Chain A
């Protein structure tokens, strides 16, 4: 049997595990503008790809999906080009709506969206717009702040359009940068939905693909805290080596993982980093000690702790806080200086 695990690329269809409630909420819930927040490598792209897959495969679905990856757009023109490219890439979408990509050339993104929506509705569909790498909008807005209100107007046209934006929490800063006196871009998108690590049973079902011993599978789930990327990475390597202890040790010292964690820590705010480092230094500490130690106001501390827990950076049991997973904790303990250096403001 070849290695069944997929570490890095997006997954969908039979390779996608869990997230049933989130998929249901997005496809069948009442909201037509949704923002899904997830840390890096937690499966945001896979979630969107699975939504695209489910909508395309179901003969009952009213949705015609369009996956729009906006990373690298940089400016409003780039944003429009990537939207046209998304249409060009999706033959099912073009077939369903009769849209010809060449007809869209030259139009700004919000106008293209309005055209796509009209064509979808005229063909008897509702448009499910799946926007990946949403934080790119910060860069785009830096070039032309007016692009955000225009986009917002189209994105909130429901009920014929359902827009799902995925990003890290960085997108929360988008309205800070806008000099325009219009409604905040995120107004219709909040509260966000959080993309959390997998549930234990979902993780074990995924690990079942490797035919591992139940004890090993539980150990992997526990060490990775069911973080999907770490699960797949460790399972893939363990599948090759068949030596779990060595695999875990090697992964804990792996430069790639170190960069992954460093990149995460750099994306945090100072208060978040402080709390994280504090918890790494003193695992199992309680809530009161944390707020005081990190010098964060009590209301704000609760907010930060909740966000870090939802994103899988922290976990909490009986009021005691620990770092989200064993690898992250090891890295934080090993390189607190690197983590702390992020305070200087640079990115990896």
Chain B
């Protein structure tokens, strides 16, 4: 006994999603055991990723299932407000909570609270960060490391962006002062270096007896430091030696040479001859021209140095960007812009560096979280399938950006999904994926990994076992070969036996009169069916056509196709509503009776409706109320979008009803829940006369006409039902097609009678004579369709 109980224990131990969820919500969270609650909720989400209201748990217990909201509460308990906000947002995105205003308000309130607390936390952290950076900047400034100080201040400025104005002003003023000190220090350094360089050069030139060049260099020094004693005496000496070495005529010639060069725009070349000429104090013009030449040359030099400084700063900025030193890069680009305010590239790079400085700072305040993975398929970590593929569908989300989602099957990468670039250059925080993976027979391990922009990843693994179908097993081929040989032998015998049995049993598959419900006997209409399936998720339709053209049969097959429709995000719940013989007083009750029957409701769901099978008072308001409840009930049956499809036959009955009933029917399709409602009405025609104020009831239907069958479809309807049993002579087929004009009801009726006649004669082939013999009687029985249509005309 004990052994039996022990063996049974694992079955009891298997927890459902709601066990995890309720444990977290009702036990762990109130006990402030947040980490444990988070684990339970994660397990619940793994088993059931989609939130919902009034989800069935055990027995008849229903609970609101809002795991992301509960996780948000856990994170609030852990003072991780940023994660809390993320999970509240995820819950809102799930959509279920929005259907309950009170719950949604509570979520909004909690999120607001989390946002306030997060703002307060951020403000505290920013304040600390800003103070720290300001302190560091002050120390660096004292050490005259002005550029490092500016880099700290750039960060401090970002950190202070959301703080008070005084702090922001303090950062800005400190930065301006440091900039000014840096500029002064750099200027003094440049000046000292230039003096030193020019003086050294002048001395060398003086010694080398290059007197004019020496004077030019002494002038550079004097320009920077007019009282420089060595430069003054050096210049005097050089000028005396020039005067001593050259005659006045020669100096005059130098003046002319200098003038010519200056006029030709060669100011720097003119310096030497003009300097020599200016050594003679009587050549006043030489001195004036020399001053002009010096100014021009100085401007050219300054221009060259500026360009060199800009290039050097730009290169330094780019190098800092490469090293991901964003504040240092920012300092370099700011320096470029002070030298060259119109430099567009520097402005663009500065903007990038500023953004990255902010993001790096932001990353310190809000540490990067790993991405999250939520799966819609598969729903369990271990599943067994007998299909050769499995769909992996879900969403990856991240607080920064999802970079990619990778799929690994049996240790081998089999694909990845990357977000499409967004036109607004914003990062993508949610990435939906939908992959179909091929499965090998037996066990398959599938690992899905989401990576964020910083390379942090999270993985989920599924064990998928693929069971082989019989035809995929090794035993299949030999068995199939032997079977085929046997079948060929048997087939011939069976064919003969089948024909004689069909003859004996008077086999006649055609259906004349009743709607065709069997898929095998429904021919043609594929194009029409495809068109309706393609638009029905968004549009209601009116299928019109002459009597007995096959409208009712079409609705039966549309119901089947809609119920089988698996290809989209919509789940259709089609129900047939037959209005034949329904009175105006009984219209809504009768329609709801068909709906209730078609949806096979549980007793609890049926009890929630106003509809009762035996009931006198049931009006449009009750009908609307019950449809709304039914839509809610159907939402529990599927995770796809619900579409309750009312396939209403014999809608011509409505033509006889008052406009008020028609308006009530229309108004139901104007209600918000009618987004989950579509209708396909079928009838001969709609009454167009309309006396009431307001919109005609039919004006939201697009009309589709159901026409006679094409020749190919009609011929298939004649031949295929008896294939393998009986044969049609080609001329017999032709005669039926000619007589029926593509009307399926008529084709079936002609075939019924022709086959009966053949059976009477003990034959297995339908002859032209059979058709000719029965046609007059059959055609005489058919009503004139035009007469019906006239009956519903305006």
* Inter-chain contact A255/B624, CB cutoff 8 Å: no
In whole angstroms, how far apart are the Cα atoms of A77 and B565 in the complex? 44
Smallest beta-carbon distance A332→chain B, Å: 18
Across the interface, name the chain B residue whose C-beta is closest to A92: B101
* Inter-chain contact B537/A139, CB cutoff 8 Å: no
Smallest beta-carbon distance A5→chain B, Å: 7
Chain A stretch 28-72: residues in CB contact (< 8 A) with chain B: 40-41, 45, 49, 52, 56-57, 59, 67, 69, 71-72
In whole angstroms, how far apart are the Cα atoms of A57 and B672 in the complex? 14
The stretch from B324-332, B373-381, B497-505, B661-669 touching chain A is: B661-669
Cβ of A183 under 8 Å from chain B: no
Smallest beta-carbon distance B570→chain A, Å: 9
Which chain A residues border B628 with CB–CB below 8 Å? 89
* Inter-chain contact B537/A2, CB cutoff 8 Å: yes
Interface size band for B: 35 or more
Q: Evaluate whether A95 and B539 lie within 8 angstroms (CB atoms) in the complex, with A69-B671, A90-B672, A139-B693 already known.
A: no
* Inter-chain contact B688/A348, CB cutoff 8 Å: yes
Q: Evaluate whether A170 and B693 lie within 8 angstroms (CB atoms) in the complex, with A8-B699, A9-B669, A240-B534 already known.
A: yes
Across the interface, name the chain B residue whose C-beta is closest to A263: B696
Which chain B residues border A10 with CB–CB below 8 Å? 670
* Inter-chain contact B660/A40, CB cutoff 8 Å: no
Cβ of B522 under 8 Å from chain A: no
Cβ of B784 under 8 Å from chain A: no
Which chain B residues border A170 with CB–CB below 8 Å? 693
* Inter-chain contact A91/B535, CB cutoff 8 Å: no
Cβ of A114 under 8 Å from chain B: no
* Inter-chain contact A59/B538, CB cutoff 8 Å: no
Smallest beta-carbon distance A274→chain B, Å: 23
* Inter-chain contact B101/A95, CB cutoff 8 Å: yes
Cβ of A335 under 8 Å from chain B: no
Chain A stretch 284-304: residues in CB contact (< 8 A) with chain B: none
Which chain B residues border A6 with CB–CB below 8 Å? 538-539
Cβ of A81 under 8 Å from chain B: yes
Which chain B residues border A348 with CB–CB below 8 Å? 688-690, 696
Chain B stretch 342-363: residues in CB contact (< 8 A) with chain A: none
* Inter-chain contact B99/A347, CB cutoff 8 Å: no
The stretch from B121-129, B467-475, B700-708, B727-735 touching chain A is: B700-708
Smallest beta-carbon distance A50→chain B, Å: 11
Number of interface residues of A (CB under 8 A): 52
In whole angstroms, how far apart are the Cα atoms of A138 and B693 in the complex? 8
Which chain A residues border B689 with CB–CB below 8 Å? 347-348
In whole angstroms, how far apart are the Cα atoms of A228 and B507 in the complex? 55
Across the interface, name the chain A residue whose C-beta is closest to B794: A348
* Inter-chain contact B688/A40, CB cutoff 8 Å: no
Q: Report B273-313 CB contacts with A as 1/0, cut-off 8 Å.
A: 00000000000000000000000000000000000000000
* Inter-chain contact A67/B672, CB cutoff 8 Å: yes
Q: Evaluate whether A255 and B108 lie within 8 angstroms (CB atoms) in the complex, with A139-B692, A347-B690 already known.
A: no
Cβ of A272 under 8 Å from chain B: no
Chain B stretch 374-400: residues in CB contact (< 8 A) with chain A: none
Across the interface, name the chain B residue whose C-beta is closest to A140: B693
Which chain B residues border A255 with CB–CB below 8 Å? 703
Smallest beta-carbon distance B682→chain A, Å: 16
Smallest beta-carbon distance A316→chain B, Å: 27
Which chain B residues border A41 with CB–CB below 8 Å? 699
Cβ of A222 under 8 Å from chain B: no
Smallest beta-carbon distance B253→chain A, Å: 77
Smallest beta-carbon distance B712→chain A, Å: 20
Smallest beta-carbon distance B94→chain A, Å: 14
In whole angstroms, how far apart are the Cα atoms of A90 and B694 in the complex? 23
* Inter-chain contact A74/B702, CB cutoff 8 Å: no
Q: Report B75-101 CB contacts with A as 1/0, cut-off 8 Å.
A: 000000000000000000000001111
Cβ of A172 under 8 Å from chain B: no
* Inter-chain contact A233/B702, CB cutoff 8 Å: yes
Which of B535, B540, B663 counts the most chain A CB atoms within 10 A?
Answer: B535
* Inter-chain contact B699/A9, CB cutoff 8 Å: no
* Inter-chain contact B540/A8, CB cutoff 8 Å: yes
In whole angstroms, how far apart are the Cα atoms of A347 and B691 in the complex? 6
Cβ of A132 under 8 Å from chain B: yes
Q: Report A147-176 CB contacts with B as 1/0, cut-off 8 Å.
A: 000000000000000000000001000000
Which chain A residues border B538 with CB–CB below 8 Å? 3-6, 9, 15
Which chain A residues border B102 with CB–CB below 8 Å? 95
Cβ of B568 under 8 Å from chain A: yes
In whole angstroms, how far apart are the Cα atoms of A135 and B702 in the complex? 24
* Inter-chain contact A135/B694, CB cutoff 8 Å: yes
Q: Report B317-345 CB contacts with A as 1/0, cut-off 8 Å.
A: 00000000000000000000000000000
Cβ of A246 under 8 Å from chain B: no
Chain A stretch 321-348: residues in CB contact (< 8 A) with chain B: 347-348
* Inter-chain contact A259/B688, CB cutoff 8 Å: yes
Smallest beta-carbon distance B687→chain A, Å: 10
Across the interface, name the chain B residue whose C-beta is closest to A97: B101
Cβ of B228 under 8 Å from chain A: no
Across the interface, name the chain A residue whose C-beta is closest to B568: A2
* Inter-chain contact A3/B535, CB cutoff 8 Å: yes
Cβ of B674 under 8 Å from chain A: yes
Cβ of A21 under 8 Å from chain B: no
Cβ of A216 under 8 Å from chain B: no
In whole angstroms, how far apart are the Cα atoms of A236 and B701 in the complex? 13
Chain B stretch 626-678: residues in CB contact (< 8 A) with chain A: 628, 659-660, 663-664, 666-667, 669-674
* Inter-chain contact B672/A49, CB cutoff 8 Å: yes
Which chain B residues border A233 with CB–CB below 8 Å? 702
* Inter-chain contact A8/B700, CB cutoff 8 Å: yes
A-B contact pairs, 15 of them (CB 8 A): A2-B534, A41-B699, A52-B672, A56-B98, A67-B672, A71-B663, A72-B664, A72-B692, A85-B624, A89-B624, A96-B101, A135-B693, A233-B702, A236-B535, A347-B690
Closest 5 CB pairs of A and B: A72-B663, A95-B101, A8-B700, A135-B693, A71-B694
Task: Give me the interface of A with B, judged by CB distance under 8 Å.
Answer: 2-10, 15, 40-41, 45, 49, 52, 56-57, 59, 67, 69, 71-72, 74, 81-82, 84-85, 88-92, 95-96, 132-133, 135-136, 138-139, 170, 233, 236, 240, 254-256, 259-260, 263, 347-348
* Apart from A5-B538, A9-B674: 6 A-B pairs, beta carbons within 8 A: A8-B539, A71-B667, A72-B694, A92-B99, A139-B693, A263-B699
